[in-house]
Structure 1
Amino acid sequence: MHFASTLAQGRLIRRYKRFLADIIVDDNELTLHCPNTGRMTGCAEPGWRVYYSTSDNPKRKYAHTWELCRDDAGDLICVNTARANQLVAEALSEQRIAALAGYERVRAEVRYGAENSRIDFMLSGPNLPDCYVEVKSVTLHEGQGNGFFPDTQSVRAQKHVRELMECAQAGHRAVMLFCVLHTGIERVSPAEHLDSKYAALVREAVAAGVECLAWKAAISPDGMTLIEPLPVELGC
């Protein structure tokens, strides 16, 4: 996935009201749209370098969108959570995720589950069970390559795990795909210390047949692509 043009740069002043961030560019202050509803723990420290895209849509209140930042260790982090599904869609279309290769049809945002959600991707093909894929963007890094999801307690994430279990119990393939958007992360775990119920549900889901995969993105101001699988460590 390539950005429409090379991203511009600035320095972060603050992120606020969830969807806004102020940065400094050439001694001028600029407000960006922040496309991330999460806490962004470890992704939004004042002074960090920020990379942003610009839209020519005249109807937008804020023309600039925060895409990436670089932390003190030099790692790049994608804060635009919409990019995770775009990267996975690209990888699925190119059959680059070996565990999910072989399906002829990929559909996005298909309604499913008793709790009336939309699955990120539904894969289908002849002589293959339907495969339901839920994508989660992973950016929480707590040192030594350890990445975690979620970055706070998440009732919505818990619901998605329950629905994947229902898919598996109905005889379908059900996959939780952690899309790692932090170049410092080398392994992924459910965040037991932040959402113990989610972590327990993931372990229960895996025991019920749900698959957990993690794929890491190469990230640069020019673009991003999924490049390699990472281990998923479920804990006790």
Structure 2
Amino acid sequence: MGKPILLKLKTLPCTFIERFNRFVALVDVNGEIKRALITNTGRLEEFMIPGRRAFCLPKTGGKTDFVLVAFEDLGGKGAVIDTRTQAKAFERAVELGLVPWLSGCRIKRKEVTVGKSRLDYLFDCPGGEVYAEMKSAVLRGGKRGEYAMYPDCPSTRGQKHIRELISLRKAGRRAMIFFIGAMPGVEKFRAYERGDPEIVRLLMEARKAGVEIHALSISLLPGGEVVVEKPELEIEV
């Protein structure tokens, strides 16, 4: 039985040339150099190597012609770096009931203002409302490459979100942070101390406060299908 399909994208093969700036990459599409939007603010240094095969999605409007969706990874599958695709895939997984740690839940609101932050989701669950933040984990680690890790660089924004979740939990609200391990072959999630030691410290504090921490993995198939790899990864914080 195949892995559950979440999205079907009309991607084109492309070759990464360079990261022009934080939000734009230069890519080769059918022999032409094009600009592609990067939505992921991580450094992504293990993927952004000149000459690496990637997957681009055509777009209209703006200063870019494509979205850089994924890089070719294990077994020809794609590691999905595009955070919008990650979010759409996750939301579809929730709709299809494929996320065991959100069983019976539905998305009540997105982009929810809490304190001085904006969290990604407010879920309506059987036990009540859950405030949640999603993070992209596309750094591979471990001797066998079995870990999806976050973050790959310092993130003051990520720190602020975790602090808000801790405050919500201490105020008696249910709070959650979850990670999209958007790479094939990963089995576990680990916080990456060299990326941001404060994030690691805050996640440990969050867990002690009762903030729920989860992760799942997805990948992109060569035909453009985004699939669930593992609906629940083991957590190491």
- Check the 8 A contact 1:43/1:79 in 2, yes or no: no
C-alpha separation between the residues in 2 aligned to 1:104 and 1:156? 26
- CA drift of 1:106 comes to 2.5
Cα–Cα, structure 1 residues 106 and 223, in superposed 2: closer, same or farther, change >3 Å?
farther
Match of 1:54 among 58, 76, 80: 58
Residue 122 of structure 2 corresponds to 122
Distance in 2, Cα, partners of 1:178 & 1:153: 16
Identity %, equivalent residues: 28
**Structure 1: which amino acid aligns with 2:98?**
R
- Which of 56, 59, 63 lines up with 2:65 in the alignment? 63
Aligned-partner Cα distance in 1 for 2:139–2:118: 24
Equivalent residue for 2:7?
2
Distance in structure 1 (CA, Å) of the matches to 2:106 and 2:67: 34
State the alpha-carbon separation in 1 of the partners of residues 112 and 178 from structure 2.
Answer: 16
Is the alpha carbon distance of 1:214 and 1:224 closer, same or farther for their aligned partners in structure 2, counting shifts above 3 Å?
same
- Deviations along 1:126-179, whole A, 9 cap, x unmatched? 6x2311111111101134212210111111111111111111112222111111
Partner Cα separation in structure 1 for residue 125 and residue 137 of structure 2 = 29
Moved more, 70-79 or 190-199: 70-79
- Structure 1 residue 213, shift from structure 2 partner: 0.4
Aligned mates of 1:218, 1:71 — CA distance in 2 = 9
Counting only pairs closer than 5 Å after superposition, residues 100-139 of structure 1 correspond to structure 2 as: 100-104=102-106, 106-112=108-114, 114=115, 116-125=116-125, 128-139=127-138
Distance 1:18 1:200 in 2: 27
SS at match of 2:177: strand
For 1:2, what is the secondary structure of its paired residue? Answer: strand
CA distance in 2, matches of 1:130, 1:72: 38
Root mean square deviation, CA, Å: 2.0
Whole-Å Cα distance in 2 between the matches of residues 3 and 63 of structure 1?
Answer: 19
Structure of greater relative contact order (alpha carbons < 8 Å, 6+ residues apart): 2
> CA 1:155 to 1:92, structure 2 compared with 1: closer, same or farther past 3 Å?
same
TM superposition shift of 1:26: 3.6
Structure 2, unmatched stretches of 5+, are: 1-5
**TM-score between the two structures when normalised by the length of structure 1:** 0.88
Q: How far off is 1:71 after superposition?
A: 4.0
Report the TM-score when normalising by structure 2: 0.88
Instruction: Give 1:111 deviation, angstroms.
Output: 1.2
How many aligned residue pairs are there? 228
Q: Deviations over 1:213-232 (max 9, x none)?
A: 01011321412133421111
Contact conserved, 1:141 with 1:184, CA < 8 A, in 2?
no
Are 1:48 and 1:72, in contact at CA under 8 Å, matched by a contact in 2?
A: no
**What is the CA-CA distance between 1:73 and the residue it aligns to?**
7.3
Write the letter of the residue equivalent to 1:19.
F
1:53–1:66 contact (8 Å) kept in structure 2: yes
CA drift at 1:90:
1.2
Separation in 1 of the partners of 2:196 and 2:7?
34
Whole-Å Cα distance in 2 between the matches of residues 148 and 231 of structure 1? Answer: 12
